[in-house]
């Protein structure tokens, strides 16, 4: 309300002082001008000094600095600074941690994250937050959501000792019905989880395709990555690809099938845990991203966005507690939760776990092989899981992507253009071009020189309004 009031007062002032002749189309009063700023093109890696005019939530014009910018309600002098499209986090769980829900919008925007993709929450929990965020307007990121994790007959996240974010699909017809319900509820995509059967997976893919909405998925444990991956639009966490790339992938698959068909009295969580524990160490001991087998798997995934969440996968190597600014960033997190995260991070930083360390190294190796093969990479964090501060953790993810072998430009592309591609919004979001949504960040230093410069945020513009 204050933002709108100030904008109206400023406009009234300009109406009083400007001559009537100044209200031609060429001299339209803009909401915001960012002048003499170095605009980063995340597609080409080019940098050009320009002035960017914003009106009604959109980028209206991009001008040479020598051209007149006319009148604007607000002017940001970008001299010596850099302009980038607002960042995305492609993998978040907004209602997963009850203590953080209220702080989520502010935290994301404080760190320049202007769009998020919620990858799993019950509709009854996420819909009130959607309404709240959308009522906040520019004071909250754009949010795109999937509804619950669509799991198999057994459900991993069933609420027993963990947050309930999954739903059962015991048959193909149940899967079709659930997709229809989710489409009617207005979801932006669907999320397929690890315990679905091949029949349920096929029904989910068919139904989502008929509704023309994209799919994000883990590789189901009942399928191989090269079979499931090409049929969805994004895959999360690199989950279970190590098993597909292992020397003994076929025998591991046979063992998995037998356990899935006869789970005994295991819960969904216990079944997935036991499958991972029995197979991941074996797979990681023989996996090689450069092997012929793994190259065939990677080749099959060239049309599927990979969201590796390296921040999460590499925690054994890159514990957040080792960053000097992490504790400071925790000051914006509720104290009880911050203390819990510090305790957890401190404990695990002092532990040795060979399988976790192997998974960490493998994840970096695999992302490097994928990007060299032309597999699209997207930036996501799994916030708030794994002591992930909303917004802050996205910058950590960008740094891990560069550690894996992506260039700074490729990492920025993963957090701007690729998420828009997933939602078929690449003509609307993700770049600094006329007609695009005015979600923008101003940086003190060039992130193409050092990806850590994405942390040097000077201003954040959300839906055309400066919010920081």
CA separation for the pair 379, 305 (Å, rounded): 10
Report helix, strand or coil for 72. Answer: strand
Per-residue pLDDT averaged across 271-293, rounded? 95
- For residues 374 and 337, the answer to whether their CB atoms sit within 8 Å is no
Q: Grade residue 4 by pLDDT with cuts at 50, 70 and 90.
A: very low
Average pLDDT for 376-386: 97
User: What local confidence, expressed as pLDDT, does residue 184 receive?
Assistant: 98
Look-up: residue for tokens 């006329």?
434
Task: Assess whether pLDDT exceeds 50 at residue 3.
Answer: no
pLDDT at 12 over 60: no
Check whether 76 has a pLDDT greater than 70: yes
Q: Are 401 and 379 in contact (CB under 8 A)?
A: yes
pLDDT confidence of residue 20: 37
C-alpha 369/C-alpha 235 separation (Å) is 16
Checking if the pLDDT of 19 tops 80, the result is no
Q: What pTM was computed for the model?
A: 0.92
CA distance 42 to 84: 8
Respond yes or no on whether the N-terminal peptide bond of residue 384 is cis (omega within 30° of 0).
yes
Average pLDDT over residues 159-181: 96
Q: So what's the pLDDT on residue 26?
A: 60
Mean pLDDT for the stretch of residues 231-253: 96
Question: Given this model, what pLDDT does residue 321 score?
Answer: 92
Segment (H or E) for 149: strand 149-150
- Give the pLDDT of residue 379: 98
Alpha-carbon gap, residue 85 to 413, rounded angstroms: 10
Domains of the chain: 2-84+432-466 (2.30.40.10), 87-422 (3.20.20.140)
Q: In this structure, what token pair is assigned to residue 417?
A: 């253009």
Q: Can you give the pLDDT at residue 72? A: 93
Average pLDDT, whole number, for the chain?
A: 93
Q: How is residue 218 annotated by DSSP?
A: P
What's the confidence (pLDDT) of residue 172?
Answer: 98
pLDDT in tens, 422-465: 999 999 999 999 999 999 999 999 999 999 999 999 999 999 99
Residues 6+ apart with CB under 8 A from 352: none
In the predicted model, what is the mean pLDDT of residues 119-140?
A: 97
Is a pLDDT exceeding 80 seen at residue 343? Answer: yes
**What average pLDDT does the segment 291-300 reach?**
97
Q: What number is the average pLDDT over the span 48-70?
A: 96
């Amino acid at each position: 309300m204050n933002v709108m009031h100030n904008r109206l007062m400023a406009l009234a002032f300009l109406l009083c002082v400007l001559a009537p002749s100044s209200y031609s189309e060429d001299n339209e009063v803009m909401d915001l001008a960012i002048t003499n700023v170095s605009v980063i093109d995340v597609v080409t890696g080019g940098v050009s000094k320009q002035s960017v005019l914003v009106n009604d939530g959109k980028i209206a014009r991009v001008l040479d600095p020598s051209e007149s910018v006319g009148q604007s309600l607000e002017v940001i002098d970008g001299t010596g600074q850099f302009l980038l499209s607002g960042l995305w986090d492609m993998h978040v769980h907004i209602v997963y941690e009850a203590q953080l829900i209220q702080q989520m919008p502010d935290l994301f925007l404080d760190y320049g994250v202007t769009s998020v993709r919620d990858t799993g929450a019950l509709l009854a929990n996420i819909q009130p937050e959607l309404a709240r965020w959308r009522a906040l307007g520019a004071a909250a990121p754009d949010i795109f959501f999937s509804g619950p994790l669509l799991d198999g007959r057994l459900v991993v996240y069933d609420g027993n000792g963990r947050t309930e974010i999954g739903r059962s699909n015991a048959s193909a017809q149940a899967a079709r019905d659930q997709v229809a319900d989710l489409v009617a509820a207005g979801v932006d995509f669907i999320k397929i989880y690890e315990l679905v059967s091949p029949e349920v997976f096929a029904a989910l893919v068919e139904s989502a395709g008929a509704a023309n909405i994209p799919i994000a998925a883990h590789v189901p444990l009942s399928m191989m990555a090269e079979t499931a991956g090409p049929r969805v639009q994004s895959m999360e966490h690199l989950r279970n690809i190590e098993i597909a790339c292992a020397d003994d992938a076929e025998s591991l698959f046979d063992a998995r099938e037998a356990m899935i068909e006869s789970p005994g009295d295991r819960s969904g969580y216990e079944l997935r845990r036991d499958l991972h524990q029995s197979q991941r160490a074996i797979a990681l001991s023989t996996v090689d991203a450069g092997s012929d087998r793994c190259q065939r798997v990677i080749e099959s995934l060239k049309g599927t966005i990979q969201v590796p969440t390296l921040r999460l996968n590499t925690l054994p190597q890159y514990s957040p507690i080792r960053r000097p600014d992490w504790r400071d960033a925790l000051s914006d997190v509720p104290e009880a939760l911050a203390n819990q995260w510090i305790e957890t991070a401190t404990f695990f930083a002092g532990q040795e776990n060979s399988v976790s360390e192997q998974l960490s190294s493998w994840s970096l190796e695999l992302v490097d092989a994928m990007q060299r093969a032309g597999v699209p990479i997207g930036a996501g964090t799994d916030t708030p899981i794994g002591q992930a501060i909303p917004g802050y953790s996205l910058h950590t993810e960008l740094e891990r992507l560069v550690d894996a072998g992506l260039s700074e430009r490729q990492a920025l592309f993963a957090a701007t253009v690729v998420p828009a591609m997933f939602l078929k919004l690449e003509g609307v979001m993700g770049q600094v071009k006329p007609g695009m949504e005015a979600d923008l960040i101003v940086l003190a230093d060039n992130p193409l020189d050092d990806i850590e410069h994405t942390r040097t945020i000077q201003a954040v513009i959300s839906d055309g309004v400066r919010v920081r």
